[in-house]
Structures are given as structure tokens and as C-alpha cells.
Amino acid sequence: MCGIVGYIGRREATPVLIQGLKRLEYRGYDSFGIATVGSALEVYKKTGRISDGEAGAASLRGSTGIGHTRWATHGEPNDINAHPHMDCRGRIAVVHNGVIENYSELKRQLQERGHIFRSETDTEVIVHLIEEHYDGDLLTAVNATLPYLRGSYAILAIAADTQRIVAARDASPLVLGIGDSEIFAASDMTPLLEYTERVIYLEDGDVADITPDRLDIYHGGRRVERPIELISWCVEDTRKGGFDHYMLKEIFEQPQSFYETIRAGIDDNVRQMIMGADEITLVACGTSYHTTLIFKYLAESLCNISVRAEMGSEFKYFVPPLRGLVIAVTQSGETADTIAALKMAKARNCSTLAITNVQGSTVTRVADSTLLMRAGPEIGVAATKSYTAQLAALMQIVNLRCERAFDDVLSHAHLAIGDVLLYDVRDAVALCSKADHAFFVGRGAFYPVAMEGALKMKEISYVHAEGYAAGELKHGPFALLTPETPVVAICTPGPTYSVMASNIKEMKARRAPVIALGVDGDKELAEIVDIFIPIPNTHLLVQVLTASVVLQLLAYHTACVLQRDVDKPRNLAKSVTVE
């Protein structure tokens, strides 16, 4: 959830750290801080956004440093709870992403031994444990500390009397960037793009000893080699490119990201896994879970194969019977619940496949095979292009199991996505922006599309929205319909069209205003609703995509009218790396 960054080399560390933290701010933005080693160990940390407080860090000097941008898990967002945290003597500083599950017990023991705690965070126990073992050798002290920790961590530690960073990872992501007499460390690759294309992904259990000219990685006390990989992304991918928000830029990038994912295809190994599966189970969280539900509807109705879609957060504790192929879907490749579920599937001897946007991420190293999305960096917290890229990957699986019946449909679907990008949704926005509550409804594959539309609305506009299968409204939610409660309904030709139209009339009879998405030219639907938004009259697979993009635009423009922070909605973070 949080983002950490480190630098050691020939430059002043502070500008590199600040810029890197800005790249990572989508992972958390409650507070930030940096620590540098120059003539002394100096620390600056502040509540709020980096842009509001970075001037205060400008005075920190030194060519070795670490930084952190926080999504609060233990202790409220304030200056004291912000990272980095220091030991009692001010000689050691640590930043940490993850959760130390046994911190209460460790804290009590440390306090009994005389340590003074300043914050409410779990992280502070780490730096006090390092302090107890530190005699001038930071690597030895970190190694002695790690066995005490239960939970997840990516740690960067520095000390006042040495030009050195020690990094450690277990169940939280950490990547190293290899430059010319300089080394970078970060939670993901986005802070590295301006400086290097060569990276090393640390494995769980790795400890790295980093100096400007040398990098040694240890695992289980033995020195190991980790491969240097080349990044395919570039720094321009992480910039707004003239758009007001990253989210809008990423919405407009969807025709390209969908097309690139389709064009990349499926390799022979993954093809064999898919074709040989009698049963498919998908595991995901949030928006990714909605894509798996869409896949379930499509695969079962079009291909007649058995599919289960499971929430990663529930899977670990309530494991369903497993057989066949298990697919983990995660944009970042670091979603903690999804990775835990995948490991459980492997322990039960299931074949495993990862669908992710980040090559080299944890899920790609856990799964037997990977089907890589081609969305590029997604900076906005609300998923947009990663959602449609996931659908591109999943629709390819549907196509494969249907003997490539949809080759032509998928190869041209990006054109239809492009057609809806400039739709005028102002009337619908005016209605939604005045509401405190809204319903999104659909049937079949459009039910999870409605769920995703509701999620987008609530997470960036803060309008409370719920997605339902249309027929379920009568089983309770109808009690909430009022003239101030808009309903967004997806109603396209197909076996449920008539009953869906009847559901809309029932909602209208309760005086709820209805915004309907239907195919272009559907005069009957346009006449019974308050606002009609036409989508191209194309194949079902494409209608799922175009309806989804229209709902993204509706949520985005509603949030803008309400003057919300679209790219950084309150209380949220992009990559959920803790349970």
C-alpha cells in the first residue's frame, strides 16, 4: 500500500527521493518523509501531499537516502507516524511497506528493555530491533532483526556512519534499479524509469547490501545472483501528456492498450493450459474481480465450460474445492490476497496462471505461467485501462475455448472503444452529481459491468453507488428508490432485453430517474427512460467494453463536477499489498 524509495550514488539524494516518491504517491498519500546520510543522518517528514511539503526537505544533504509515502495502517496520519522512523539515539533510519503482525508483542518487550517509542506504527519496532543488534555493521543488524518479524515487509535501512543501504523483502514488493555508479530501490519500477532500464526484482527472503559500486544479495545467509531484467516502459508513460488527470489520460489510452493486449496473443504454453482445463477458477480483488465475473458469464454461456470466480480476500480463509486451472488476475501483480490464494492453489497441485500488467512482479514468479496485459503504467488510483486490458486477456481465453470464433470481433473492438470516448454525458452527470445515492443495474455479463460502474462512481466521486443484478432490486433495494435516487441501467438486445425493459418501467413507476445505456437506434428504450446514452450496436463482447468505458466517463465527469481529487481519492491506494 505504501511506497518506499532509496538512492545511493553520485547525485544528491533528496531530489531523486522526492521525485521517486511523487511517482509512488498513488500507493499512498497520507504523509511522506525522507532521510539522508551526509555529514550526519537527517530526517524530514510531513503529513499531507508531497507537493505541499517538499520544500521543507530541500535542505537535506547527502548522496545516500531513503523515502516513504504512507497509506496509514497503524496510527492516524500525522507527522509523528510518518516514516522514516529512527532508533533511540538517532543513528539509524528505516522505511517499511507492509504489516508487522506481532508488533504489539515486540513493542512491549522493547519497552521493557528501555526503548522509547515515539509513534503508533508497527514499523518502529523494526528500527529498535536493528538498534539492539547494531555494532557498526548494518547488514548484520538487519539480518539479526528479520527472524523476529512476522507479517510482510519491504524494508530500507540506513545508518549515520556508513554510505550503505540494506534492503530486505518478504511478501511486499521491492525492485532495484542498476545505474552507473548508483543504485536505486523502490516499491515498483515507476521511480526508476528516469534513470535506468535495468532492474532486479528481489525475491521473498532476500536481503540486499547496497553501496554505490557494489550490490550483494543474500538469501538464507548465502550470497545469490538475481537476473538483471530490462524495463519495457518509458518515463513518458508516467506523465499526464496534457490531460487534466491521469485517469482521463488512461481512459483515452484504452483503445491502444486493448489492441496491444489482443495483438500480443497467447503463447503455446498458456494455450495448452487453457485448452486442457476441465474447470477454471479465477481469483481476484476489486475491479479485477469484476473482470472475472464478466469472464464467468461469457465463458459459461459462449463456451459451455465450468467457471468459478472467487474473491481473493475470502479465498484464503474459506478455500473452495479446487481442481483444474486457477487464474490469478491482478493489475500490479502484488495484490496480497490474490497472491496468497494462488499459493494455496499451487499447494493443492492446481495448474496456475497469472494475468497481470507487470512483468517480474510477485505473481509472475509464483504462477506456473503468465498472460501479460499490455496496459503500460496506470497511475490513477481508479482502474480504467487495466480493467479493459484484463478483459482483453480474458476474452482471448474465451475466444480460444470457442475455437477462435471471435478473432474478427476482438481485432476490431478497439475501434468501438475509441468511438465512445467523446460521448457527451453531461445530462447524466448533472443527475448523478446532485445525488447522494445511486443504483447501477444490468443482467448477465452486464451485471458485473454495473458493479464496476458503481465502484468507479463511489471511489472517485464519493456518491454512494451500488451495483445489482436488475431482478434483485425487488428483493429489498426497491425500498430505497426515490425521485432523488438515479438508476443507471444497461439494457442491450439479447435474451434479457424484454425483462430488463420491464425492470426499468418498474423503477420508473417508483419515480426513480433512469439513465439507460442501450444500443444506438433503440427508440423504444429511449422513450421510457429519462436519459438515454447510445452505445454501438455490435457484438456482446464489444458492448461489454463500450458500456464499461461510458460508465468510467460518467464517474470521472461526476467527480470533476463535485471537485474531487480524481487521481487520489480519499483513503484509497493503488496497489493493495497488505491484507
* Catalytically active residues, by annotation: 2, 574
Nearest to 231 by CA among 358, 356, 367: 358
Decide the pairing of beta strands 325-330 and 351-356. parallel
Q: Where are the beta strands (DSSP E) in 332-409?
A: 351-356, 369-372
Residue 316's alpha-carbon distances to 80, 198, 286, 336, 342, in angstroms, are 34, 35, 16, 10, 9
For the chain, what is the radius of gyration of the CA atoms? 25
Q: How far does Cα 101 stand from its chain's mean position?
A: 22
Q: How far does Cα 255 stand from its chain's mean position?
A: 20
How far is it, in rounded angstroms, from Cα 75 to Cα 185? 26
How far is it, in rounded angstroms, from Cα 474 to Cα 503? 9
**Count of helices and strands (H, E) across the chain:** 19, 25
Residue 438's alpha-carbon distances to 334, 370, 470, in angstroms, are 32, 38, 13
How far is it, in rounded angstroms, from Cα 389 to Cα 376? 10
Question: For 468, how many CA atoms within 13 A lie in the half-sphere containing its CB?
Answer: 18
Q: Where are the beta strands (DSSP E) in 236-393?
A: 279-284, 306-311, 325-330, 351-356, 369-372
- Residue 378 corresponds to which cell in the numbers above? 496506470
Q: Where are the beta strands (DSSP E) in 273-314?
A: 279-284, 306-311
Q: If residue 32 lies in a helix (H) or strand (E), which one and from where to where?
A: strand 31-37
Helix (H, G, I), strand (E, B) or coil at 325: strand
How far is it, in rounded angstroms, from Cα 398 to Cα 131? 55
CB atoms within 10 A of CB 118: 11
What amino acid occupies position 410? Answer: L
- In the sheet that holds 306-311, the strands lie side by side as 306-311, 279-284, 325-330, 351-356, 369-372
- Residue 62 corresponds to which cell in the numbers above? 547527502
How far is it, in rounded angstroms, from Cα 174 to Cα 187? 5
Nearest to 156 by CA among 5, 46, 38: 5
Question: Dmax over Cα atoms in the chain, in whole Å?
Answer: 79
The set of residues, in sequence order, having a beta carbon less than 8 Å from that of 208 and lying 6+ positions away, is 165, 166, 167, 168, 176, 185, 202, 215, 216, 217, 218
Nearest to 434 by CA among 496, 501, 485, 502: 485
Question: For 527, how many CA atoms within 13 A lie in the half-sphere containing its CB?
Answer: 4
